[in-house]
Structure 1
Amino acid sequence: MGTPAFAVPSLDALAAAGHELLAVVAQPDRPAGRGNALRAPATKVWAEARGVPVLQPEKVRDGRLASELGALRPDLLVVAAYGRILGSDLLTLAPWGAVNVHGSLLPKYRGAAPIQWAIAEGERETGVSIMQMDEGLDTGDVLLQRVLEIGADDTAETLAPRLAALGGEALVEALALLERRALVPVRQDGARATLARILEKEDGRVDWTLPAQRIADRLRGFTPWPGAFTTLEGRAVKLLEARPEPGDPGASPGAARRAAGRGLAVACGAGTALVVTRLQPEGKPAQDALAFLNGLRRDAFQLGT
């Protein structure tokens, strides 16, 4: 049970390890792109290319999906970024229950966007957790974890494929151990849990009172969506590349000036500055920050206005 590209390496790993895939369950095709044409989920594309049956129910808690899957008599349900919360009818359907491939080191970053929030919160490492599912939000016992370093330049876009590949490897490792009854489930410490809630467009709005490192981390974590954006005289400006550095403690947050030969330096909280090297003004293509300044014909102004 999985929908986006994150789930595909788990499918690859299961198939390569010799597991029989009775069906792939994905969310329905959704409109995408400028023309809003229906686009099939990545897992559906994978399954159809290999002759694996695909189920795409609109609802998962009305009993119909449990009935369809029950008829297949699976040993186990595997869930990887499916995007729906399963009820007890599905969680208890198979003799081995349901296991989840989650993109964080649980109990940290439970929820829909663990990869994005781990970067946005300044973590230097993350990983994958293979979890025995229960009816809570990523609250089940952990069966196996693998750690992955977050690079200084990693974005959610660059980190996700590496985590997905690690998830596939960890999944087949865990299933082999589970089959031999060689795994000891570890209960999560709820007191250490953090929530990786689903992202909203407004999460990308830059708060210039934050330290520059926090803003830079959020930019990386929220790439490609919702990104990091601010405003200049009511028009949006998207920040594409930036780095933190020491700044002028007396500068007003959001005060921007030309940084000779380097880009656009914006004052941030705690006496820091964010040097923006690439950006995209509303209605225009992405451009070098110095080119933006040259077109603006101003060397100092206030962002967030």
Structure 2
Amino acid sequence: MRILFMGTPDFAVPSLEILDKNHEIIGVFTKIDKVNKRGNKIEYLPVKQYAIDKNIPIYQPTTLKNDEIVDEIKKLNPDLIVVVAYGKIIPKSIIDIPKYGIINVHSSLLPRFRGAAPINAALMAGDKKTGVTIMYVAEGLDTGNIILTRETEITEEDNFETLHDRLKELGAEALIEAVTLMEKGENESIVQDDSLATFVKPFRKEDLKIDWNKSAEEIFNFVRGLSPVPCAWTQDEGKTLKVYQVKKYDKVYEEGQNGEVVGKLKGKGPIVKVNGGSVIITSAKPESKKVLSGADLLNGNFIKIGNVFE
């Protein structure tokens, strides 16, 4: 099958790789390159780097809502377009081109968590399972019919990074299964139940700030759902403290207020009072410093008992 691939980040690479091994990739559409702030050098994004290594034609339009781009895709004449974390809306003028349509790998069990950041959202919500959905691309946001889904358990040890890496491999496996079904004409799809839909908007900086009035469970899920990116944060004496990991602590402190550093656990980190309980900060990055363990935060006097996080 002649496949045109659209994707950008690391999450998309396993899907591109498995398609490349089993089908003809006639081109890759990916976002424009980023400039490294430190060295002012262009950094190739993961999908582009794969395409360079494999000599696959690369296209990097700023928009798909362009007649020249539509005409170019028509000339390529793909049997199927596959979209994985591309980051651009696909217009109807392109959706109607391929023989088999356009399918997408979405990192949630649709219709739950349509939109941006579904992996973060599943963790932050405290879900016990998530997965990937292979779906047809429609004009609405993640509203297309579902070809298949595959699930995975969310464990207490998971954070965004571990779950992301598991889902990118699961997505690739589900994708090749779906494409095989399409070739056989066995790709029956089901309509999403819009009444069950939830949405995730792109994060703003203020969305990432820890609310210490939440429970230990809620704060634990919030922090791990954003770790290591885009990362939860709080204010400590007017400076930003990025928090990468907290652990739930079973001790309730009567004294102090929520967000106050009420104690320390040797070798673990500072203890913060929260609603109905407490948490231990076990990994964080003080402003202008490197990421430190909870023990090093205490040893270096970066977090002091009695401080109240804003």
TM-score (normalizing by structure 2): 0.92
Please give the secondary structure, in 2, of the residue aligned with 1:84: coil
| Alignment match, 2:169 | 165
Which residues of structure 2 form unaligned runs of 5+? 1-5
Q: Give the superposition deviation at 1:304.
A: 2.3
| C-alpha distance 85-302 of structure 1, shift in aligned 2 (>3 A) | same
Q: Give the superposition deviation at 1:22.
A: 0.7
Q: Give the superposition deviation at 1:64.
A: 2.1
* CA distance, structure 2, for counterparts of residue 295 and residue 72 of structure 1: 59
Alignment counterpart, residue 283 of structure 2, candidates 254, 278, 286: 278
| Structure 2 residue 286 is the aligned partner of structure 1 residue 303 | no
| Alignment match, 2:3 | none
| Alignment match, 1:98 | 102
Please give the secondary structure, in 2, of the residue aligned with 1:147: strand
Alignment counterpart, residue 15 of structure 2, candidates 5, 10, 25: 10
* CA distance, structure 2, for counterparts of residue 105 and residue 242 of structure 1: 27
| Alignment match, 1:78 | 82
* CA distance, structure 1, for counterparts of residue 36 and residue 206 of structure 2: 21
Residues 224-260 of structure 1: CA deviation (Å, up to 9, x unaligned) = 2221211111111122221112342644211112233
* CA distance, structure 2, for counterparts of residue 37 and residue 122 of structure 1: 39
Residues 136-176 of structure 1: CA deviation (Å, up to 9, x unaligned) = 10000000100012221212112212111111111110111
| Alignment match, 1:244 | 248
Please tell me the residue identity of whatever aligns with 2:27: A
Alignment counterpart, residue 266 of structure 1, candidates 268, 272, 289: 272
Alignment counterpart, residue 192 of structure 1, candidates 196, 199, 220: 196
Residues 106-155 of structure 1: CA deviation (Å, up to 9, x unaligned) = 00111121111111111121111000110010000000100012221212
1:1-305 correspondence runs (5 A):
1-17=6-22, 19-248=23-252, 250=254, 251-261=256-266, 262-269=268-275, 271-296=276-301, 300-305=305-310
**Which range is displaced more, 84-93 or 277-286?**
277-286
- Contact 1:212–1:268 (Cα < 8 Å) also in 2: yes
* CA distance, structure 2, for counterparts of residue 238 and residue 101 of structure 1: 31
The percentage of counterpart residues that share the same residue type is 37
* CA distance, structure 2, for counterparts of residue 50 and residue 278 of structure 1: 39
| C-alpha distance 202-119 of structure 1, shift in aligned 2 (>3 A) | same
Residues 70-101 of structure 1: CA deviation (Å, up to 9, x unaligned) = 10111111000000011001111111110001
* Number of equivalences: 303
Q: Give the superposition deviation at 1:14.
A: 0.7
Please tell me the residue identity of whatever aligns with 2:169: A
Which residues of structure 1 form unaligned runs of 5+? none
Please give the secondary structure, in 1, of the residue aligned with 2:55: coil
Residues 26-54 of structure 1: CA deviation (Å, up to 9, x unaligned) = 01112235234221121111111111101
* CA distance, structure 1, for counterparts of residue 186 and residue 105 of structure 2: 19
* CA distance, structure 2, for counterparts of residue 139 and residue 152 of structure 1: 30
| C-alpha distance 207-29 of structure 1, shift in aligned 2 (>3 A) | same
| C-alpha distance 67-166 of structure 1, shift in aligned 2 (>3 A) | same
Please give the secondary structure, in 2, of the residue aligned with 1:23: strand
TM-score (normalizing by structure 1): 0.94
- Contact 2:227–2:245 (Cα < 8 Å) also in 1: no
Q: Give the superposition deviation at 1:300.
A: 2.5
Please give the secondary structure, in 1, of the residue aligned with 2:24: coil
| C-alpha distance 224-288 of structure 1, shift in aligned 2 (>3 A) | closer
**Which range is displaced more, 32-41 or 116-125?**
32-41
CA-based RMSD of the aligned residues comes to: 1.7
Please tell me the residue identity of whatever aligns with 2:274: C
**Which range is displaced more, 245-254 or 219-228?**
245-254
* CA distance, structure 1, for counterparts of residue 163 and residue 280 of structure 2: 23
Please give the secondary structure, in 2, of the residue aligned with 1:122: coil
